[in-house]
Amino acid sequence: MKKSEKGLLEAKANVLKALGHPTRLWLAEQLAGGEKCVCELAEQIDADFSTVSKHLAVLKQAGVVADQKRGKQVYYSLKVPCILKYMPCIETVVRTQIEEQVHLLRDDLPRPLPPRR
Amino acid sequence: MKKSEKGLLEAKANVLKALGHPTRLWLAEQLAGGEKCVCELAEQIDADFSTVSKHLAVLKQAGVVADQKRGKQVYYSLKVPCILKYMPCIETVVRTQIEEQVHLLRDDLPRPLPPRR
DNA sequence: GGGACATTTGGTTTATTTACCATATGTCCC
DNA sequence: GGGACATATGGTAAATAAACCAAATGTCCC
């Protein structure tokens, strides 16, 4: 593999990794409806203020969100909204996975005997 | 947030996290062209055999790939190919990010003086 | 059964990530 | 300048992930 390809691969993985945390994914989804300040985001979620700030910093470093300071507040917004268009596909993955696990349960586990007549 | 929403969020983040590692993303991309055995994948990349196997296990656990044993070999394939359709968007994120950094360099760093006449 | 091969699993060490707390920075308004 | 507010940053402990090696498993063929 060429060095440039490797670099691109790492950069792409970095974006996916940034989204690969429940809190950060939630933050990104919140921003789908338009920019929000840190305060709005932090108060909706059960986490320390500084934790939210750090998660936003991770998203920013990955290029997923942009920040803009206005007055006392900092507003974050999605920089490349197409990112969320992907979610239905991710949900398909999740759904498929869950269905398979259900099948596993159904097929492999001993079930109670049917009632005797 | 409801418990079910939280669970879905975690599952989605888990899928993204699985793809958020250069080696695993590379593996997924390799499988875009159809199933491959572990040996084919491992020999192309500079990593221990067992490392590749473990990365594939992560992808499998997340529901991204499926495995099928045939003879001595295990073949992996993409379970939900739409996942890779997302890459152009991710690349946009990366490209945008790099461009901004270039601008930063251009605007903020001292440049050599123009040649004197 | 035994040997060769493909893959997985277990164990260990090291690096990275996370959450929380305390403290710093920057902005507004008096 | 000083106080109140919004956010970021630094430090630290605990949890998680990564790579590598060695050993186990499963399959084929003799």
For A55-113, the pLDDT digits (tens) are 999 999 999 999 999 999 999 999 999 999 989 999 999 999 998 888 776 665 555 56
Mean pLDDT of chain B: 90
Q: List the single residue in A1, A16, A100 with the smallest CB-CB distance to B16.
A: A16
Chain B residues 66 to 105 with C-beta below 7 Å from nucleic strand D: 69, 71-72
Contact A11 B97 (CB under 8 A): yes
The secondary structure of residue A113, as a DSSP letter, is P
Say how far A66 CA is from D6 C1', in Å: 17
pLDDT at res. B75: 97
Q: Hey, are the CB atoms on A15 and B83 less than 8 Å from each other?
A: no
pLDDT value at residue B101: 81
**Cα–Cα distance for residue pair A40/A38, rounded to 1 Å:** 6
Judged by phi (left if over 0) then psi (alpha if -120 to 50, else beta), residue A63 lies in left
Who's near B21: CB < 8 A, 6+ residues apart? Answer: A13, A17, B55, B58
C-alpha to C-alpha distance for B6 and B16, rounded to whole angstroms = 15
Torsion of CA B57, B61, B63, B68, to 10 degrees: 50
Q: Note the Cα B49 to chain centre separation in Å.
A: 19
pLDDT score of A68: 96
Q: Give yes or no for CB of B47 within 7 Å of strand D.
A: yes
DSSP SS3 for A59: helix
Check whether B88 has a pLDDT greater than 90: yes
Give this prediction's pTM: 0.88
A57 touches strand C (CB under 7 A): no
Among A25, A85, A92, whose Cβ lies nearest the Cβ of B16?
A: A25
Chain B nearest-CA distance from A111, in A, is 26
Q: Give residue B66's pLDDT.
A: 97
In the predicted structure, residue A117 carries a pLDDT above the cut 80: no
**How many Å separate Cα B27 from the centre of its chain?**
8
